[in-house]
Amino acid sequence: MADKKKLSQDTQNTLWHARTVEDVRQTLNVPEEGLSDQEAAERLERYGPNQLPAPQRRGPLKRFFVQFHNLLIYVLLGAAMVTALMGHWLDFGVILGVVVVNALIGFIQEGKAEKALDSIRDMLSLHAYVERDGHRREVAAEELVPGDLVLLQAGDKVPADMRLIRVKDLRVDEALLTGESQAVAKQVDPVEEDAVLGDRLSMAYSGTVVTYGRASGVVVATGKQTEIGRISEMLTTVETISTPLLRKMDVFARRLTGAIILLGVGAFAFGMLARDYTMVEMFLATVGLIVAAIPEGLPAIITITLAIGVQRMARRKAIIRRLPAVETLGAVTVICSDKTGTLTRNEMMVRDVVCADASFEVEGDGYDPHGEVLRDGQSVEVSDYPLLGDLARVGLLCNDSTLDTDDNEQWRIHGDPTEGALLTLGLKLGLDAEREADDLPRTDAIPFESEHRFMATLHHDHEGNAFIFLKGAPERVLELCRRQRQGDEEVELDEDLWRDAAEKLAGNGRRVLALAWRQTDSDRHDLAFDDISEFTLLGLVGITDPPRPEAIEAVKRCRTAGIGVKMITGDHARTALAIGRDMGIGDGERVVTGAEIEDAADERLSEWVREVDVFARTSPEHKLRLVRALQANGEISAMTGDGVNDAPALKRADVGVAMGIKGTEVSKEASEMVLADDNFASIVDAVEEGRTVYDNIRKSITFILPTNGGEAFVLLAAIALGRVMPITPVQILWINMITAVTLALSLAFEPPEKDIMTRPPRPPKEPILSLFLGWRILYVSLILLAGTFGLYIYERETGADIEVARTVAVNTLVMFEAFYLLNCRYLHRSVVSREGLLGNRLALYAIGLVVVFQLLFTYAPPLQFLFSTAPLDGAAWLRVVLIASTVFFLVELEKVLFKGLHREARGLEPRREGEA
């Protein structure tokens, strides 16, 4: 077992990409004919199967019961036990039901990481072609061992991490590991030891896809030792961050619990020592006080508000996988976005065409062949610039890819994305691919290979003329050209002109290709390397993965909302900077690379995430470190992504956002939110909904807690004055539950306020119950105390029975809440307007429903029996309504008097220097 562990570590830690083929063969003892079956079996026993191990999982019972391990849940269970001891089984059932529903939601959402690991395992290849004992055979991918010789061809999924030993024009799509949009051309030669993952051209990694060419390689790592296995291991160790709401509710619950216990003990002691209550009387009074102080309906209201937010977001193409993430979106201060497929379309497109005497700009999106070609802002036709048509024709015919549309009428490429961009250019210029191929049929070709960095094709027209078309890397094509086309003439090649043009395009983040042609002997039907010379250069094309137009607008909206946007990509620094400039991300000059992140201390990284917005050539570990650095700075981070390489950072971020269409299952399972339309703009819509949800939760808290405060103050006032309790514990539960399930619930449906996306993000450390809201709750609680206790005393002093006085007190409290509900529609702005008073019909319906409930509470004999109530006359109701309505006017007056503080509380006015 120890030997097996050592060998596994050897395969993981060796820098295979930096070693020569001979060295790799010798180290792993790989014969020319491949491993023997016996040796393969021994190595399989030694290294283990080529699959990712299943993680240990908690059983369903443990997963369920751990959901109750929360202080607020303990408070609720205590409230349920109190109601059960009082024999109020209906309320006991309601409170217990709230607790169980919350636990079920957590139980269902539990196991997200386990699903992510399952998704990674599903991404591994199912089979592989190997050389063993000198024979090619197909084996199950899980039977591969280090030292196996594996054969690859276009369309294959790489079955294990491999050191390439033979390459024939191999290109591999590594986007799921590196985020790089272009397929990578591979080579046999070793690379530098410190090369980042995307630059290890001598390696092919498990889970990536061969898009072109053929190769063979030696397996150097299997199972959890592979790069994709490392990501799997990272997912098991990455800690999921608790959401701001849960953290704040935990603090709130601890403080509330402590306050309730102290309040109960203090009241009990005062009543026994200072007011000569009996122990039984004080026990009942203390129970009533505790029941009054516990907001039984608050967790249910928060859960319902979050659920409503989920529904609203789903209508805006944002699917929430974890309920508290709805609110977290509203707290986001920075969005870390992957580039490929998130900010960009993940579709290559020709953006620039440079000829000797003219430059052109190409419009459009991705592979869609609709778009104009412009010169100096004016649309051009091929007939006006024959050279432009010849260049596009070379790109169209010196090409092995095809374009078509899928079932949704979306254009897609079959083959190399760069060639797809050239096809689209030809179609935009009005060329017909089939007709051009008929007019100039291909006779022979030299395919693109990394060794010579060009592709050439031989064509004959129907008049007997023969042409060679050439495309490739600019520096290589320039070596093969002697002349250039300038208008209708051919002149001597100006190498400096073209090198400067290529450098300028590359500086703008373009991938540059040069296109050339020459006429050859009409009787030539074979193409050899000796024929590749004396070409005439037609021009250069600049190719890019274009940004999504809606994403550009979304970035602007983020800026307006005070949300930072950072691009974290596996692509090259120059490309990242160019896309950043197009998107409005960063200053267009500063970029930090993965190599710099690798060597940076945590303190330096914290500085970079404050100052720099573009990060390039990043690995999964780098993305994870960047997210952690942001969180260490106190930021609430959202991380977008679609590849396996994004999964650890998605899981660690406060909100992980995966792409629903192009995203891998791994990224979806590791995230809290999935964009159904892969539209970056949907994130901003989701942030708006998240802010609305948080607003509505705060409105609900600001509405519910004065009810508890007013009830508690009324009971404390009675104890302090030595009077009979104005409200019984059973009546308190009635008030709490009726106002929670009717009035407070209506606030969950409040639409967003007009200024919600022009406010800066709320401070991450801001408590859910701020000083301002604490003042509002105290202010309203005192109003409720004065009105309710005052009317109760009035009724008793004028000779009313205790049942009548208590019925007046209960109705006064509930009517206070009905009027106060209107104030809470806007916490800071006045509601004295048509929109403020009538803008939420559900609030008006809730008030009407509460009136019906209170009439039943007062006059229905069964409820009179249960709650010890008595009927009231018209004069009593008039007093109740008049006194209760005062809260509306007093709160609106407070909004006017403290208008400046309200603006500051909403973040509309920054605090002056020196202010606390």
Query: How confident is the model at residue 13, as a pLDDT?
Result: 52
Task: Give whole-number Cα distances, 631 to 242, 637, 772, 786, in Å.
Answer: 12, 7, 26, 46
**pLDDT tens-place string over residues 78-89:** 766 766 775 657
Q: What is the mean pLDDT of residues 102-120?
A: 50
771 contacts: CB under 8 Å, gap ≥ 6? none
Quickly list H helices, 403-562: 417-428, 433-439, 474-479, 495-507, 549-560
**pLDDT tens-place string over residues 757-797:** 888 887 767 777 778 888 899 999 999 999 999 999 999 99
What does the block give as tokens for 331?
A: 């707290």
Amino acid at 470: L
Q: Which residues pair with 544 in a beta bridge?
A: 349
Quickly list H helices, 722-838: 729-738, 745-747, 771-797, 802-823, 834-838
Q: Select, from the ranges 120-129, 420-429, 726-735, the one with the highest average predicted confidence (pLDDT).
A: 420-429
Mean pLDDT, the chain, whole residue set: 83
Query: How confident is the model at residue 5, as a pLDDT?
Result: 41
Spot the catalytic one: 338, 642, 654, 685: 338
Task: Give whole-number Cα distances, 137 to 37, 754, 784, 816, in Å.
Answer: 11, 67, 84, 82
Measured between alpha carbons, how far is 178 from 571 in angstroms, rounded to an integer? Answer: 7
Percent of the chain with pLDDT over 70: 84
Q: Are 806 and 731 in contact (CB under 8 A)?
A: yes
- Buried b vs exposed e over 180-198: b needs ≥16 C-beta within 10 Å? bbbbbbbbbebbeeebbbb
Rg (CA), the chain: 36
Question: What does the DSSP 8-state code read for residue 404?
Answer: E
Residue 351: phi and psi, rounded to 5, are -105, -30
Categorize the per-residue pLDDT at 36 as very low, low, confident or very high, splitting at 50, 70 and 90: very high
**pLDDT tens-place string over residues 271-306:** 777 777 777 667 667 766 776 676 766 766 777 777
Categorize the per-residue pLDDT at 423 as very low, low, confident or very high, splitting at 50, 70 and 90: very high
Residue 119 has pLDDT above 60, yes or no: no
Q: Residue 604 region, left (φ>0) first, then alpha (ψ -120 to 50), else beta?
A: alpha
Does the active-site annotation cover 646?
Answer: no
Q: Does the global pTM surpass 0.75?
A: no
Categorize the per-residue pLDDT at 120 as very low, low, confident or very high, splitting at 50, 70 and 90: very low
Measured between alpha carbons, how far is 105 from 101 in angstroms, rounded to an integer? Answer: 6
Which of 41-45, 669-673, 891-895 is least confident? 669-673
What does the block give as tokens for 830?
A: 């006045």
Measured between alpha carbons, how far is 754 from 774 in angstroms, rounded to an integer? Answer: 25
SS3 label, residue 382: coil
Q: Are 125 and 157 in contact (CB under 8 A)?
A: yes
Query: Is residue 353 exposed (0-12), middle (13-18) or buried (19+ Cβ within 10 Å)?
Result: buried
Measured between alpha carbons, how far is 855 from 347 in angstroms, rounded to an integer? Answer: 66
Measured between alpha carbons, how far is 247 from 463 in angstroms, rounded to an integer? Answer: 79
Q: Which residue has the tokens 């998704």?
A: 119
699 contacts: CB under 8 Å, gap ≥ 6? 747, 750, 824, 825, 827
Residue 231 has pLDDT above 90, yes or no: no
